[in-house]
A and B are shown apart, each in its own frame.
Chain A
Amino acid sequence: MDLRLVTLPVIVPLFAAVLLAALRAICNSRAADGIALIAAGSSTVFSGIILSASRHQTIVYWLGNWQPRNGIAIGICFAVDPIGAGLATLCGGLTVAALIFSCKYFDRAGTLFHVLMLVFLAAMSGFCLTGDAFNMFVFFELMSASAFALCAYKTEEREALQGAANFAVTNTIGAFLVLDGIALIYARTGALNLAQIGRTLGASRDALTLIAFALITSGFLIKGAVVPFHLWLSDAHAVAPTPVCVLFSGVMVELGLYAVVRFYWTVFSRALPDSTPALQWLFILFGTATAVVGGVMCFAQHHLKRLLAFSTISHMGILLMGIGMMTPQAMSGVWTYLAGHSLVKAALFMGAGILVHQFRTVDEVALKGRCHSWAAGLIFAGGGLALAGLPPFATFFGTAMLEDAAKRSGYGWAPAVIMLAGILTGGAVLRSGMRIFLGIGRGRPLPSSESHDDSEKRGPVSPVMTIPALALLAIALCIGVPRSFRDGILRYAATLQDSGAYASRVLEGTPTPVQTSTSADIEVATIIRSCSSALIAAALGWFALAGRFRGFRRSLAASPVQAMVNGLRSLHSGVVGDYVVWIVAGVVAVGVALMVQL
């Protein structure tokens, strides 16, 4: 592969965005669709080429050709391993799908929408590929700035403004936490290159290193929507336009967790070996809380987009639990699950978008029995079952790998939490699917006030909207099946975690050692368990709707369970000051937990 391709996934969409902005006076919306699709498509193809080349060797590319001198990096580098390149490809692919979907979704999308989407894509790709701490911060901010604007895109809706404001304030604080952390490390090491920081930091475990790690991790966990940093997410996802939600839930949130992984293994893993138990405990605790809170809140929603948003939070918890186990086996489960979740969640948001498009509401109760599109029904059914972990969706293989790793590293109870989160989130989606497409359960007339608003086109379900969603589901269905895929992911996960090899590859150009490990076999018991968990999810959905359980549901509503759910719900107040208090609480919790071990 020509090394010059490495920057193109970032440069092409960025340049197309500038071009579109300059030409927006003379460019009609079809031409804008075309240019944006071509740019996003070629960015995806370039990422794919880089991915296939990085499988044998981590690609290191020095921008401006400023090669390191005596192990000191003087420029910025892209250091691309298959995980980073794979995520960049995923970002590109989902952007293409979202852009196709938005062709029919908006009536007057205007060129600015495409400009923002392309810059967003460029930022995400750059974030995945870069090997420099400050450059990562810059792309983090670029990603945030375009995301804030995209979130508030429907300025005529009041909720969009408040959702975007909460999103912007919390994530900006996150960016400063990250920047302060980077500044602290720079004071210690005089380096900004991830590999060089990791090497210079060596085994210096003291307050500075620990707090810097706490700041950076907390900053990225805000983006990663982990309890108690997660409160902005349900607001932002509930109000953003659906094609934007596809990217928010599909990849942006996951990139927060990716950044934590990248920073930990390139920079801190050698400095903090004695803190590893504390850190594992911390990640798994936070992950468990996130999985459970997200799952419960998800099941308690009737607003479809908010429901999907909480399910994303829940799945971020599962991923963080996997990260906490820290073995390559667990991490391979994390990456597989992440890929599956991204595709499925993107498809589900498109499904919700189809309903908004047709009926101008995302209230599950108002939509009872109204939609008769088999394609949209298929999206909800498939998506719900996939979230519950039905084989052979990629989420199933991810769960299976995580369960295997959990047993090996002594967290025998973790699979139960993962299963619970899957059942709750999958059950919630299946419940709304059954209510909307089969007409089971209680209903309510469509709100009439919303029917006059026509900023988004109203009309029949177009294949332009269903095909991208079904295609994403189909990919999620097939991608994990080949054994080679799982073996590959395990090898790449191990490559990412080999921090010594990463440092010498980046700073001296030493070839990366080839990892040779094969993934564990999928046991029949796991398949049976996952199938039953999908069945339980469907049963749970049915239980929440069917008339014959009405009495039992009433008694449940009077019980302390409901009071607890209400308490949880009231924490998601929509007031940004509250959110910031929880963020500070989270940062202090991470910091203190690490310092106590010192």
Chain B
Amino acid sequence: MSRRVRIFLFLPLAAAFLILLLAAMEGIPAIGHYRGPYGDVLNAITVKERHTTGVVSAVNFDYRGFDTLGEESILFVSVIGATLLLRQRPDEIKDTNESEQDEGARKVPEPSDAVRLLSLALAAPAVLFGIYVVTHGQLTPGGGFQGGVVLATVPLLVYVAGDLEIFKKVAPAMLGELAESAGVGGYILIGVAGLIWGKSFLENVVPLGPADPKVYSGGTIPLISLATGMAVAGGFVLLLISFLEETLELRLKTKRRGK
């Protein structure tokens, strides 16, 4: 099919699809009139039963913790897939058409002093903020995902300030891999701990802490949040490294040509 034929076929289909979707959505209760009951039950019982105030985190890391384990595995497997796809094989380099790649490469200018200063100044607060978000998941709208992504921006800031070489020193691929594996593996082990204690998979096995929620209350929730934070931070760092290494190749070539 040519593009023209394709669009010609698609437009009426899309119109029909839109009408179908709108017809279905008319059946949803009016906006602002959510009826429940799932969320309401959890809103009512979470603080009392789990000693946490953040219900969303309690859902993610406990009531529906198995979803999050699956989701961590998706992160794990996608990162592995991306590194697999981006790794350069020795026999591959001669394959690529070098002159064509040089043409396509944009010149990457050296970062200015202002950029360097600002990104380095932001790096330390970002570490602190990331750790804060990861560890306060059960109390605030934070948690492992959000904090993990904040933490993964730190090496990116360093990269913006300097070079991939420094970036690799701050966040070696090995560390990223280790953090990711330890995060997902730790998640599974917390779940298995339940089995070993004769309970259910992912059932709480540690004390719940004070009834008035504190940083250390919530039983397994902060632990799982921590494991998730590690996996997310490690996974994103690995992705950044894989993608940036490809960019580095281009940058080195540009430099060489400049000399």
Contacts and interface: CB of A to CB of B under 8 A. Distances in A.
Direct contact of A and B (CB under 8 A): yes
Interface of A: 4, 7, 11, 14-15, 17-19, 21-22, 61-66, 69, 72-76, 112, 115-116, 119, 122-123, 126, 134-135, 138-139, 141-142, 145-146, 148-149, 152-153, 155-156, 180, 184, 186-188, 190-192, 206-212, 214, 573, 575, 577-578, 581, 584-585, 587-588, 591-592, 595
A592 B24 CA distance: 12
B77 interface: yes
A585 B35 CA distance: 34
B64 A581 contact: no
B65 interface: yes
A119 B28 contact: no
A581 B23 contact: no
Interface string B11-55: 001101100110111111100001111110110010000000000
Residue in A64, A75, A126, A188 with the greatest tally of chain B CB atoms within 10 Å? A64
B77 A135 contact: no
B203 A123 contact: no
Interface string B156-168: 0000000000000
A156 B1 contact: no
B242 interface: no
Contact of B77 (A146, A184, A211, A578): A146
Contact of A123 (B25, B73, B200): B73
18 contacts: A4-B200, A11-B188, A14-B73, A17-B76, A18-B181, A21-B76, A22-B177, A22-B182, A74-B41, A115-B80, A141-B74, A149-B77, A149-B84, A184-B27, A187-B29, A188-B28, A209-B27, A585-B13
Contacts of B256: none
B91 interface: yes
A126 B29 contact: no
Given A63-B201, A208-B28, A573-B1, A76 B20 contact: no
B81 to A, nearest CB: 3
Given A155-B85, A577-B6, A581-B10, A191 B20 contact: no
Nearest to A594: B20
Interface in B198-219: 199-204
A191 B89 contact: no
Tell me the dominant secondary structure on chain B's binding face: helix
Given A122-B73, A145-B77, A575-B1, A21 B181 contact: yes
Interface in B69-105: 69-71, 73-74, 76-78, 80-81, 83-85, 87, 89, 91-92, 95
Given A207-B23, A208-B28, A65 B81 contact: no
Interface residues of B, number: 69
A155 B20 contact: no
B67 A135 contact: yes
Contacts of B185: 15, 18-19, 22
Contacts of B74: 138, 141-142, 145
Contact of A149 (B6, B14, B85, B201): B85
A63 B200 contact: yes
Given A21-B76, A65-B199, A116-B77, A208 B181 contact: no
A22 B76 CA distance: 11
A577 B181 CA distance: 37
Interface string B169-207: 000000001101110110010011011000111111000
A63 B13 contact: no
A17 B77 CA distance: 9
B70 A11 contact: no
Contact of A190 (B13, B36, B70, B194): B36
Contact of B70 (A139, A587, A591): A139
A76 B69 CA distance: 12
B3 interface: yes
B178 A22 contact: yes
A581 B13 contact: yes
A4 B202 CA distance: 11
B28 A64 contact: no
A76 B64 contact: yes
